[in-house]
């Protein structure tokens, strides 16, 4: 067991250190933000502790609820004892206090406040556990296959995990699905109602040109995490780093990954916008809707009666109709229309045309929305509420004109802390392996970071990257005065020559003459090929093991 843990640690972090100095497992993923295509990955599908990167999903759910008219930015949520008791980082909310959703979003996105994220969860779903089930359902709909959520803030909990690939997918969805709110992630500070809060990501935003988000995360179990997005010219790169040793080290690795991503991404490429997620969270239950062709037709009785049913049938299909029953007539029509929209393959625009066309340049984004969550004193309440997506199911007939108008103006009640009715649990999903906590000796640095400051529990390392190469050969690319220099060169070469070195492990050895930078686990042919390619770049390289 001891040898297995040591081997996993060496592969993950690429350095030779004793077990007592081990940190969280390392993972990285880089994608072309315009297409969603992978550029680089390391341990990208390992299920690891996401820490406060969880709040990206919390905010995605909040933005979705606003867009669907379930709540508004000025909706007031009540703070429970459970939410107020969350550990730092927090906004300092008190039990019984009421606060507008706009301030909760700012606190969760900018300061990464755990209490604010929990209030959002309880306000939208009635309880944090129910909200976690809804988050997981939405994650599946977004294509996040290695994620399971149990809370809204990312504090360490059994069964709560995600991956570098999944979190990059989520970061891209925030950029494309909610451009009207995306600029909140580039704010250095924000008014959270009860206090001005500073960004946990300020260092990286200020140090990396073109960076405009997205979210930091830290707990002792997770290490220092970051999902970042940056733009240069026509290129946009989105990347995630998990398991960093400190804020500075994590930011340096992220800068290297983004630089490599910009270097390898094509200048001209056909943009591929993500399709709308086929997942609908309704008032009393979660409904996961499959896409069908052609678009469904909604049939409503000409004389609806309270308690009557609304039947949704796909065209030219003899299967039994799906019944959304036991709803009042006006609400049943609204539910049917929402279901019809969510299964329509031609996705309606979620945002104004100007914002949709401006998804390329951060300058235009900043100009269009300096504050995506304006206070009510700045704009009218009607202006604070984003317009809903245009409806395509024209066959829907409303029970009464007055009822339809009232439904459009009033937000649909969501949870017990916001309204009387509490949604039921989200759709049950297949369980998967949970990440185990592990022994902790992670560098405690950059204490401005958010997260769990409690004493760590002695458990095993969560995950280790797969080692595809099992060769006995290695290559040495030089000796350096500092470990950081060796690590940075190994990372840069791994990105540049990923086709040859994808199966290799990075190792830094501490010798009397300096820090040796090696790639290990290669076959003879792979080692010689790698050295030949590096020699063509005038990079020193020697094959070891022959």
Q: Three-state SS across 97-130?
A: CEEEHHHHHHHHHHHCCHHHHHHHHHHHHCCHHH
If one compares 31 and 401, the residue with the highest pLDDT of the two is: 31
User: Does 110 share its domain with 210?
Assistant: yes
Residues 514-530 have pLDDT tens digits of 999 999 988 888 888 88
User: Does 55 share its domain with 173?
Assistant: yes
Q: What is the pLDDT of residue 359?
A: 40
Handedness of CA 471, 472, 475, 476 (dihedral sign): positive
The tokens of 233 are what? 């010219």
Asked if residue 531 is part of any domain, the answer here is yes
Mean pLDDT of the region 90-95: 95
Q: Could you give phi then psi for residue 519, rounded to 5 degrees?
A: -110, 125
CATH number, domain of 154, equals 3.40.710.10
User: Does 342 share its domain with 239?
Assistant: no
Q: Could you give phi then psi for residue 27, rounded to 5 degrees?
A: -150, 150
User: Does 330 share its domain with 195?
Assistant: no
Among candidate residues 22, 75, 89, 112, the one labeled active-site is 112
The tokens of 527 are what? 């080692």
89 prior amide bond cis, ω within 30:
yes
Known binding residues for substrate are 215
Asked about 387 being catalytic, the answer comes back as no
The span from the CA of 454 to the CA of 383, in Å, is 43
User: Does 180 share its domain with 54?
Assistant: yes
Asked if residue 422 is part of any domain, the answer here is no
Q: What is the pLDDT of residue 494?
A: 82
The span from the CA of 161 to the CA of 135, in Å, is 12
| Residue 335 predicted with pLDDT over 60 | no
Among candidate residues 22, 41, 55, 342, the one labeled active-site is 55
User: Does 140 share its domain with 232?
Assistant: yes
Helical spans, DSSP H, in 361-478 = 362-368, 381-384, 401-409
Mean pLDDT score of the chain, rounded to an integer?
Answer: 73
| Residue 53 predicted with pLDDT over 60 | yes
- DSSP states along 304-370: --TT--EEEE-TT--SPPEEE-SS-HHHHHHHHHHHHHHT-SSPPP-S-HHHHHT-S-HHHHHHH-S
| Residue 167 predicted with pLDDT over 50 | yes
Residue 532: CB atoms within 10 A of its CB come to 12
User: Does 161 share its domain with 307?
Assistant: no
Asked if residue 36 is part of any domain, the answer here is yes
Q: How does residue 537 score in pLDDT terms, banded at 50, 70 and 90? A: confident
Mean pLDDT of the region 405-411: 46
What is the chain's percent helix, strand, coil content, to nearest 5? 35, 20, 45
CATH number, domain of 507, equals 3.30.70.1070
Which of 145, 254, 246 has its CA nearest to residue 210?
Answer: 254
Asked if residue 363 is part of any domain, the answer here is no
User: Does 69 share its domain with 120?
Assistant: yes
Asked about 55 being catalytic, the answer comes back as yes
User: Long-range contacts of range 358-367, CB-CB < 8 Å, 24 or more positions apart?
Assistant: 358/179, 359/175, 359/176, 359/179, 360/231, 360/234, 360/236, 361/231, 362/186, 362/210, 362/212, 362/231, 365/179, 365/182, 365/183, 365/212, 366/183, 366/186
Asked about 112 being catalytic, the answer comes back as yes
Based on its alpha-carbon atoms, the radius of gyration of the chain, rounded to whole angstroms, reads 25
Please enumerate in sequence order all residues whose Cβ is within 8 A of that of 402, keeping only pairs 6 or more positions apart, or say none.
none
214 prior amide bond cis, ω within 30:
yes
Among candidate residues 52, 162, 163, 463, the one labeled active-site is 52
Q: How does residue 457 score in pLDDT terms, banded at 50, 70 and 90? A: very low
Known binding residues are 215
Mean pLDDT of the region 59-65: 97
User: Does 129 share its domain with 76?
Assistant: yes
Q: How does residue 372 score in pLDDT terms, banded at 50, 70 and 90? A: confident
Asked if residue 110 is part of any domain, the answer here is yes
User: Does 159 share its domain with 62?
Assistant: yes
If one compares 492 and 166, the residue with the highest pLDDT of the two is: 166
Q: What is the pLDDT of residue 281?
A: 65
Q: How many domains does the chain have?
A: 3
For 213, the domain range is 27-264
Query: Is residue 440 a contact partner of residue 25, using CB atoms and an 8 Å limit?
Result: no
Q: How does residue 484 score in pLDDT terms, banded at 50, 70 and 90? A: confident
Q: How does residue 472 score in pLDDT terms, banded at 50, 70 and 90? A: confident
User: Does 195 share its domain with 303?
Assistant: no
User: Does 260 share its domain with 292?
Assistant: no
Asked if residue 511 is part of any domain, the answer here is yes
Q: How does residue 376 score in pLDDT terms, banded at 50, 70 and 90? A: low
If one compares 123 and 15, the residue with the highest pLDDT of the two is: 123
């Amino acid at each position: 067991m001891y040898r297995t843990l040591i081997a996993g640690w060496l592969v993950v972090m690429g350095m030779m250190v004793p077990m007592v100095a081990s940190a969280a497992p390392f993972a990285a993923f880089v994608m072309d933000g315009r297409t969603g295509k992978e550029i680089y990955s390391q341990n990208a599908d390992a299920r690891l502790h996401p820490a406060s990167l969880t709040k990206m999903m919390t905010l995605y759910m909040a933005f979705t609820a606003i867009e669907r008219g379930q709540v508004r930015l000025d909706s007031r949520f009540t703070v429970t004892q459970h939410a107020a008791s969350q550990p730092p980082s927090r906004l300092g909310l008190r039990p019984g206090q009421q606060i507008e959703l706009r301030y909760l979003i700012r606190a969760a996105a900018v300061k990464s406040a755990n209490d604010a994220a929990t209030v959002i969860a309880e306000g939208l779903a009635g309880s944090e556990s129910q909200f976690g089930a809804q988050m997981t359902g939405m994650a599946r709909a977004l294509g996040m296959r290695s994620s399971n959520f149990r809370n809204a803030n990312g504090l360490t909990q059994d069964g709560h995990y995600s991956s570098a690939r999944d979190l990059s997918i989520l970061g891209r969805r925030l950029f494309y699905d909610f451009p009207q709110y995306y600029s909140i992630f580039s704010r250095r500070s924000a008014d959270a109602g009860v206090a001005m809060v500073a960004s946990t990501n300020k260092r990286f935003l200020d140090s990396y040109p073109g960076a405009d988000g997205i979210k930091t995360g830290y707990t002792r179990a997770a290490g220092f995490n970051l999902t970042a997005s940056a733009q240069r010219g026509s290129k946009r790169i989105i990347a995630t780093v998990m398991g960093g040793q400190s804020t500075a080290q994590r930011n340096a690795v992220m800068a290297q990954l983004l630089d490599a991503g910009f270097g390898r991404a094509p200048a001209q490429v056909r943009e591929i916008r993500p399709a709308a997620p086929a997942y609908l969270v309704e008032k009393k239950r979660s409904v996961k809707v499959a896409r069908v062709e052609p678009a469904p037709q909604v049939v409503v009785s000409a004389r609806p009666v309270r308690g009557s049913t609304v039947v949704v049938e796909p065209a030219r299909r003899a299967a039994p109709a799906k019944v959304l029953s036991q709803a009042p007539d006006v609400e049943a029509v609204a539910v049917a229309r929402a279901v019809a929209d969510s299964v329509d393959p031609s996705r309606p625009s979620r945002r104004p045309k100007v914002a949709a066309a401006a998804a390329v340049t951060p300058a235009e984004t900043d100009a269009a929305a300096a504050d995506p969550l304006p206070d009510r004193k700045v704009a009218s309440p009607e202006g604070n509420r984003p317009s809903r997506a245009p409806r395509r199911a024209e066959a829907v007939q409303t029970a009464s004109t007055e009822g339809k108008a009232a439904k459009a103006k009033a937000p649909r009640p969501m949870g017990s802390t916001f309204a009387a009715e509490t949604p039921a649990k989200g759709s049950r999903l297949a369980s998967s392996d949970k990440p185990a906590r592990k022994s902790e000796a992670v560098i405690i640095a950059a204490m401005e970071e958010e997260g769990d400051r409690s004493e760590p529990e002695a458990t095993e390392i969560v995950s280790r990257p797969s080692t595809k190469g099992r060769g006995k050969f290695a290559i040495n690319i030089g000796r350096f005065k500092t470990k950081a220099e060796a690590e940075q060169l190994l990372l840069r070469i791994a990105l540049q020559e990923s086709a040859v070195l994808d199966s290799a492990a990075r190792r830094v050895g501490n010798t009397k003459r300096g820090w040796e930078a090696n790639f290990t686990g290669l076959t003879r042919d792979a080692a010689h090929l790698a050295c030949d390619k590096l020699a063509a770049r005038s990079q020193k390289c020697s094959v070891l093991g022959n």
